[in-house]
Amino acid sequence: MELPDWVPEGLDVNVPNAARMYDYALGGYHNFAIDREFVEKAESAMPGAKLLGHTNRAFLGRAVQWLAKAGIRQFLDIGSGIPTLGNVHEVAQEAAPDARVVYVDIDPVAVEHSRAILADNSRAVAIEGDLRRPREILYHPDVVGLLDFAQPVAVLTIAVLHFVSDDDDPAGIVGEIRDALVSGSFLAMSHGTPVHDERGTIQSMYRQTTTPLHLRTADQIEALLAGLEIVEPGVVPVSDWHPDPAGTTVPAHPGVLAAVARKP
Amino acid sequence: MREHELAAPPESVARPRSDALTDLAPATNGGAARNGGPARQAAAVHQAAAVHQAGAVHQAGAVHQAGPAHQAGPAHQAAAAPEIVELARDWFDAIALTTFVPGGHARGLPVLVDCLGQFATALRARPLDEIAGYRVGSALVGANMSAPETLGASLTLLGQRLPPALGVDSEPERSALAVLLGRFATGFTDALRDHALTAAEGIHRAERVAWRHKQQRLQNNLQHALLHDPLTGLPNRAGLTRRLSQLLADAPGGARLGICLLNLDRFSAVYDSLGPAAGDQILLAVSTRLSALAARQGNVVAHLGGDEFALLIERTTSAEDVIKATDEALAALPEPICLDDGHEISISGRAGIVERSAAGTDPTELLRAAHITLGWVTRNSRSPWAVFDPRRNAADLARHALGAAMPAALRNGEFTLVYQPLVRLIDRTVVGAEALARWRHPQHGLLGPAQFIAAAEDTGLIEPLGLHLLRLACAQAAEWQELASGPHLVSVNLAVAQVRHPALPALVADVLDRSGLPAHQLQLEITENAFDDTGGANLTNLHALHDLGIRLALDDFGTGYSSFAYLSELPIQAVKLATGFLRGLNRSDAPRRSNRTILPALISLCHDLGLTITAEGIETAAQAQHLTRLGCDLGQGFHLASPTEPDQIPGLLGGIVNATNESPDEPA
């Protein structure tokens, strides 16, 4: 039976969920058995998968710091997941106490938990939203209530666009976001890219989740950023994007690419 | 919770250890000096302790999370010894392999430097400050260095590297360190358990809240769907009823309200010919116009389904308020609607209006009254709207009540016949009688056809009733045959539904057969409207009746849309003139040249076609005489003979009626 379109998106803790899987991979505890099982399977299919999560999360922290240094005081984090470990508002507000952050996720559980975490923070909110419908996010009352789009905004799409299929027109989505930003705004992105995993094990595993995976090459990722100026060092593995000068022993992994781009 | 446990560590664990350490303490202290450990190491211990006390803390914002590690110390700042920093760096790298550390080195390193400082201070303290180990374990988890593997990696690394780094080389010192590391593992695990449980509770709470919100949304959507039309989004019947109920419940005394129920003319025909998509477009356009209007008027608009809309008008003073709103609504409709396929269509509507006091009004009853009124308008009204009329409604109700009582009345034999003699005008001889239906109603007395035939037609009872009356008429006429002299005619009316019934000829043949009445003595009267639409099919019936030998008369000729074509096409023997033709035949009447002209021509035409003419409703001598002179064959009416009971008829048949005293009214 086809459900009428006003039935809300699924809310099923019997299906692995990207936000909670990511949390588990980072060593968090905001997840369910099904999420942990899936991550462990992914890890055995592609050793280092969990570390890839760490690397990606570390990039998020560096990117936010970099953006804050560049003068950005407004952040729109789409696909934020569960912002417990190294969350944007802490990093951003540590760098600039007046920084404002809106978290957006498709998973209502992640959003509710984010709200609980942000209850005392007047400069950060969380809303439920779907990146595939960017207008609903950009014009959400909580978004326009907290962020001033007449000023530069950094939109973060960290490890999320690879959940958007070509049918959903990711370039169009990025374009709509780009067009909503003033000059001097930024878009930070990290995106899964095909590597090692020739047989597509991980990709086929993700098909059992609510968010199947759509990996893209560096060229494809660069194409998504059309109309924006990609800042140095370009589209590179996440671990290579302005690495921590203090260094880290976490090995580089080419499975996720990162880029930060500026609206001219 | 964590702080509580730290403030009061479990006695059972702390006490014995504490005793042991007290004993060991001096030895530990002296150990370093006695063994003359490298000055570098001793310095490192002091440095680390200083770091702890001064709080490298201030440099590392993240240490706030470490809670107990943050302690007041001397105001002076001191940099950690390079050895300690190096160890902390190695420790951090080992940890980073096991878990994600938010903030990386920048946040993690100061925490670890501070932890090492605490270890150093604790080892120097007398008695041994074993709780420091617990605090450090706890601090690690607080800084999100909390994977199970983190503990293992830390114990391995600290076990190997702390003794040389802190100058621990005696056995008691090693034991003290072992105790500290044990407490470290306990602190880590305790904090981790708390952290995991809190996180699990948090995520479950979030899940419950999300579910509750989802259910709430679902419920709201469901509620909305139940109360609104899916196409136009306007309140539907249930939504309007609910609105009305609230309004009526909240209405102050003396408040009045009105409702205008509106539907579109010929919408179903448009829908059938242009298709559902165009139909939806029209409904949406109407919805938009009515909504705009209602918003301006401050009224509520509802879409009750199909092409039916309603305007709810609050705080009226009289029906005029509703009429005004209705006029505006109806005036908004005809503006052409441009359909997707490029067609333009203009529509109109009709409305039923009810306006009354809110007190004592029931929403359902109010809507029903509006429906009834709309029904009046759609069925027969020149005006595009009507206002509810309680008297008319009462009459409707009475008619419905009669309709409901009919089936039982038919079974109980309450339907009977009276007969009006048919008189040959030339000699005033009674040649037959027309059967007229009567209902001997137990409460209302004797009712004429005008009072119940329409209801019988509405309810579908007209067919069995017609058959019953036909049987009765034939049976009675057959009886008269034996009592009266000479053959005579009995004329029975057929309803439209009967004429259209395919089994009519067979039924009539059966009735004749059972009654024993010869077919040529039965005349069936049919009206023109039996041939309005499906003339072809009915003609077959008429020919079959004609073939049985039955006389057929076209009743009420000249009413409605008479067609002379019927006269030549139908297998009829007789025509009964509508009473309207008799107007203008009296001296006192205003001259109606038309009738005086038409009537002779009509009679002559019928005669030329071989048809007998009967004039009904002859009430004056003048009419009778005039018709006689024109050659009209038969007549009936009060002037000639009133309807009478069946048992009177045999006495009248073949006799003469009312031939005298007609001279005074002789027309000019």
Residue among B107, B203, B214 with most chain A CBs within 10 A, to mutate: B203
Beta-ladder partners of B577? B557, B615
- In chain A, whose CA is at the least distance from the CA of B218? A7
Query: What confidence tens digit (pLDDT) does each residue in B533-547 have?
Result: 555 567 888 899 999
Q: What DSSP state is assigned to residue B637?
A: B
Amino acid at A101: V
Residues contacting residue B309 through CB under 8 Å, at least 6 positions apart: B234, B261, B262, B263, B286, B287, B290, B301, B302, B303
The token duo for B640 is 């000639």
The answer to whether residue A9 sits within a structural domain is no
Closest CA to A61 of B102, B548, B10: B102
Q: Where are the domains of chain B?
A: 2-202, 237-388, 420-436+472-658
Using DSSP's 3-state secondary structure scheme, residue B301 falls into strand
Residue with tokens 């878009």: A187
List residues in chain B touching A: CB distance below 8 A. 61, 93, 96-100, 102-106, 109, 144, 146-147, 195-196, 199-200, 202-203, 205-207, 209-211, 213-214, 217-218, 221, 224-225
Q: Is B103 in Cβ contact with A91 (below 8 Å)?
A: yes
Give the separation between CA B257 and CA B355, rounded to whole angstroms. Answer: 6
CA distance A29 to A33: 10
Separation in Å, CA B497 to CA A161, B462, B529: 72, 7, 10
Count: domains in chain A? 1
pLDDT at A116 over 70: yes
A109 vs B contacts (CB less than 8 Å) = 203, 206-207, 210
When the candidates are 3.30.70.270, 3.30.200.20, 3.40.430.10, 1.10.275.10, the CATH number that belongs to B237-388 is 3.30.70.270
The predicted structure's pLDDT at residue B645: 93
Whether the predicted interface score ipTM is above 0.90: no
Q: Measured between alpha carbons, how far is residue B5 from residues B67, B72, B484 in Å?
A: 13, 20, 124
- Residues of chain B in contact with residue A244, where contact means CB-CB under 8 angstroms, are 104-106
Residues 6 or more apart whose CB falls under 8 angstroms from that of B92 comprise: B101, B105, B108, B109, B112
Residues of chain B with pLDDT under 50: 1-77, 663-668
Q: Where are the beta strands (DSSP E) in A88-205?
A: 100-105, 124-128, 154-158, 186-192
Amino acid at B211: W
pLDDT of B29 reads 38
pLDDT (tens digit per residue) in A196-239 = 655 566 667 776 666 778 889 999 999 999 999 999 899 999 88
Residue A150 is which amino acid?
A
User: If you search the block for the tokens 């706030």, which residue do you land on?
Assistant: B64
Higher pLDDT, B15 or A40: A40
Alpha carbon of A101: minimum distance to chain B alpha carbons (Å): 18
Tell me if A84 and B200 make a contact (CB, 8 A cut-off).
Answer: no
Q: Is A13 inside a domain boundary? A: no
Rounded to an integer, what is the distance from CA A149 to the centroid of its chain? 20
Helix (H, G, I), strand (E, B) or coil at B89: helix
Q: What b/e readout covers A84-115, taking b as 16+ CB neighbours within 10 angstroms?
A: bbbbbbbbbbbbeeebbbbbbbbbbbbbbbbb
| Gap from B211 CA to chain A (nearest CA, Å) | 7
Q: Residue A99 above 70 pLDDT?
A: yes
Contacts with B105 from chain A: Cβ below 8 Å: 244, 246-248
How many other C-beta atoms are found inside a 10 Å radius of the C-beta of residue B160?
A: 10
- CA-nearest of B664, B582, B654, B648 to B615 is B582
What is the bridge-based pairing of β-strands B256-264 and B349-357? antiparallel
Domain that holds residue A76: 18-262
CATH assignment of B420-436+472-658? 3.20.20.450
- pTM for this predicted structure: 0.59
Q: Which residue of B has its CA nearest to A31?
A: B203
Q: Is residue A7 part of a domain?
A: no
Which of A7, A27, A30 lies nearest to residue B100, judging by beta carbons? Answer: A27
Q: Chain A contacts of B225, Cβ < 8 Å? A: 4, 6
Q: Cα–Cα distance between B2 and B198 in angstroms, integer? A: 12
| Partner-chain contact B103 A32, CB within 8 Å | no
Q: Please give the DSSP secondary-structure letter assigned to residue A71.
A: T
Q: pLDDT digit string (tens) for B8-42?
A: 334 433 333 333 333 333 333 333 333 433 444 44
- Name the band, by pLDDT with cuts 50, 70 and 90, for residue A31: confident
Query: What pLDDT is recorded for position B39?
Result: 41
- Can you give the pLDDT at residue B500? 85
Task: Using an 8 Å CB-CB cutoff, list chain A residues near B199.
Answer: 28-30, 84
The reported pLDDT for the residue numbered A125 is 94
Q: What is the pLDDT of residue A227?
A: 92
* Of A106, A71, A76, residue with least CA distance to A88: A76
**What's the CA gap between B271 and B554, in Å, rounded?**
38
Question: How high is the pLDDT of residue B33?
Answer: 38
Q: Tell me which chain A residue has its CA closest to the CA of residue B149.
A: A27
Gap from A207 CA to chain B (nearest CA, Å): 23
Q: Is residue A5 part of a domain?
A: no
Yes or no, beta carbons of B206 and A61 under 8 Å apart: no
Given this model, what pLDDT does residue A210 score?
Answer: 66
Q: Where are the beta strands (DSSP E) in A84-243?
A: 100-105, 124-128, 154-158, 186-192, 229-230, 236-237
Cβ atoms of residues A221 and A193 within 8 Å? yes
- Beta strand B429-441 pairing with B445-447: antiparallel
Nearest by CB to A249, which of B97, B99, B200? B97
Q: For residue B349, what is the enclosing H or E element?
A: strand B349-357
pLDDT of residue B615: 92
Q: What CATH number corresponds to the domain at position A49?
A: 3.40.50.150
Percent of chain A with pLDDT over 90: 46
- For chain A, the average pLDDT equals 85
